[in-house]
Structure 1
Amino acid sequence: MGQRGARAQGRRDRRRVRGRNRLRTRMVLGGVALGVLSLGGGAALAHLEAGSAAPAASPQPDARSSAPASPKVPAAPSASAGHSARPSPGTSGSTRPSTSPGPSKSTVPHSGKGTFTAARAAGDKVGTGPLRRYTVKVEDGIDLSATQAAHEIEEILAHPRGWAAHGRGSFQLVDEGADFVVFIATPATADRLCLAEGLNTRGELNCETRQGVVVNLKRWMLGSPTFSGTPAEYRHLIINHEVGHEIGIRSHMGCPGPGKPAPVMMQQIKGLKGCVSNAWPYDEDGRYITGPIVP
């Protein structure tokens, strides 16, 4: 081979080397690119698989709504004044009723100890006519002051429309040596004392016995559904009615006519029969309120 041919051969050899080098470079770059693509694809696949392996958790219910609702407890019914909210007709000069809420039936005990404590209280004689001394006893264990009750009864018997003011008798509160006793007793005890005299009071009524007057605590505290006045005013009727028996009025009376005041000796708790409830033996002019005798 001549020099020119040798140079031409050398150039061809160098071109082949450069071609092989460029091919290697392309292969290397292609491999690198393929590797990068493989890594990226793997990363993307890993992210996708991770996402599918951990699906979004379903929302949890709110803790407040998941707890069972507490049952509603109905409010205890408040004590109703009922009939005691209306003023009592014809009771001028009576003691003022308390403005505080009255007791409910649930606060009046049905039974008690059956023993009594006498009020340590004494007063002056009131009225004209035969003297009757009395003491007041309250059953033990109930929330009622015997002394307070005694003074309230004393005021009732001294009232201008009461028995003492019209010559039917005089009365004096004493703490010993009494002619009769006013017992204030729970319904069960009142029933027992009254039944001893053959009187069935059914846990509701008062009575008059050989020892004196038995007042049912329920009536003393709550009044009567037929009486248009407060329990304090109804206590006037209780005392005047039972003391009426004590001074010798043995019979009950009926209603004298529609719209007229009921006699104090009428059993008003059993119905007014058209009359207007009344707590006093006499009207404001001093006339005795009477009615037909009930056989």
Structure 2
Amino acid sequence: MSEPGLVPVPARRERLRRRRRAGVLALVVIAGALTGTYLLHAAADADGRIPAAVHDPDPDTGTAGAEGEGVEGDAPGDAGLPPLLQPSPAEPPADAATDPAVGPPASYPETGPGTFGYLTGAGPTLGWSGELRRFRIAVEDGTGQRADEFAAIVDKTLGDERSWVAGRQLRLQRVPRQDIAEFTIYLATPGTSEQMCALGGLATEKYTSCRLPGQVIINVARWLEAVPHFDGTLAEYRAYAINHEVGHQLGMGHELCPGPGRPAPVMQQQTYGMQGCTANGWPFLDGKRYTGPPIL
């Protein structure tokens, strides 16, 4: 029996399958109409913070400090798609619960307290050359997820030779909260992530992740379950979620599938549909930057 306030995994999956019904044509038409709003993000102050109803303890005073992080990198273009206009999923491939790399997904609350624990200590420098860009890690209290485990996956992903550092134009490093950083990567419950993303005008319906200036918000539901139509492992979806949202922070826009049967570009909105492409979580393939047609 599930604990009070927790959503059973089978029920969540059935609900997600119902929400994905629609045609790929509708997705492309609506995405084309809405992607022009991508730059309409909430204004952030010099520290990359936005006024928020979601607070976490200030590291120095212990008082609440307004700080939120952003959507499935998915800006208003994908956040605004109505649930009945989503692409119809194919039969889901391997069940995420059987992915040996990550184990079965855990239960999580629909909405958490809106407070975050920050990982202390610095991580290794990721990459080989270029400007050093620093980030923080924060996990919402009550998600059942550990900040150190989340950070380990983030570090491994962003330091991979297929990730953004492969271009040798930048390096990345995780730093503690008290250090200066360009952005923070948050892991938040569906309800809290929706509130945080909404501060920047993004309507996620508790479903997608998002990115706002200086803020990358990963929805814990997607982190634990991926999406039914994603024809890859949960580990691959997690790599996609991180690289997609961080890609937005680095200035990358959305892209389309370059052709049926080809890997999806990491900046394609794979959470909403594959458009005939196959799952891919990486911006560099075979040592080269892999892209698709930009959404203009």
Tell me, yes or no, if structure 1 residue 266 matches structure 2 residue 264. Answer: no
Which residue of structure 2 aligns with residue 117 of structure 1? 117
8 A contact 1:121–1:150 mirrored in 2:
no
Tell me, yes or no, if structure 1 residue 237 matches structure 2 residue 240. Answer: yes
* Structure 2 segments unaligned to the other structure (5+ residues): 1-8, 14-90
For residue 155 of structure 2, give the secondary structure of its aligned residue in structure 1. helix
Which structure has greater helix proportion? 1
Give, in angstroms, the shift of residue 96 of structure 1: 6.5
Tell me, yes or no, if structure 1 residue 83 matches structure 2 residue 92. Answer: yes
What is the distance in 1 between the residues matched to 2:255 and 2:219?
A: 21
Give, in angstroms, the shift of residue 121 of structure 1: 3.6
Q: CA RMSD for the aligned pairs?
A: 2.4
1:149-188 map, 5 Å:
149-176=150-177, 177=179, 178-188=181-191
Partner residue of 1:213 out of 208, 212, 216: 216
1:113-161 deviations in whole A, cap 9, x for unaligned?
0011101242121212221111110001220001111111001000010
Which residue of structure 1 aligns with residue 31 of structure 2? none
| Larger relative contact order, structure 1 or 2 (CA cutoff 8 Å, min sep 6) | 2
Which residue of structure 2 aligns with residue 132 of structure 1? 133
* Structure 1 segments unaligned to the other structure (5+ residues): 1-75, 88-94
Give, in angstroms, the shift of residue 262 of structure 1: 0.4
Give, in angstroms, the shift of residue 221 of structure 1: 0.8
What is the distance in 2 between the residues matched to 1:77 and 1:237?
A: 23
Amino acid at match of 1:232: A
8 A contact 1:255–1:273 mirrored in 2:
yes
Which residue of structure 2 aligns with residue 200 of structure 1? 203
8 A contact 2:210–2:216 mirrored in 1:
yes
The number of equivalent residue pairs is 207
Amino acid at match of 1:126: L
What is the distance in 2 between the residues matched to 1:259 and 1:120?
A: 43
What is the distance in 2 between the residues matched to 1:155 and 1:121?
A: 16
Normalising by structure 2, we get a TM-score of: 0.65
For residue 293 of structure 1, give the secondary structure of its aligned residue in structure 2. coil
1:33-72 map, 5 Å:
none
1:207-242 deviations in whole A, cap 9, x for unaligned?
111231011010111112121222222110000000
What is the distance in 2 between the residues matched to 1:84 and 1:230?
A: 8
What is the distance in 2 between the residues matched to 1:79 and 1:194?
A: 21
Larger radius of gyration: 1
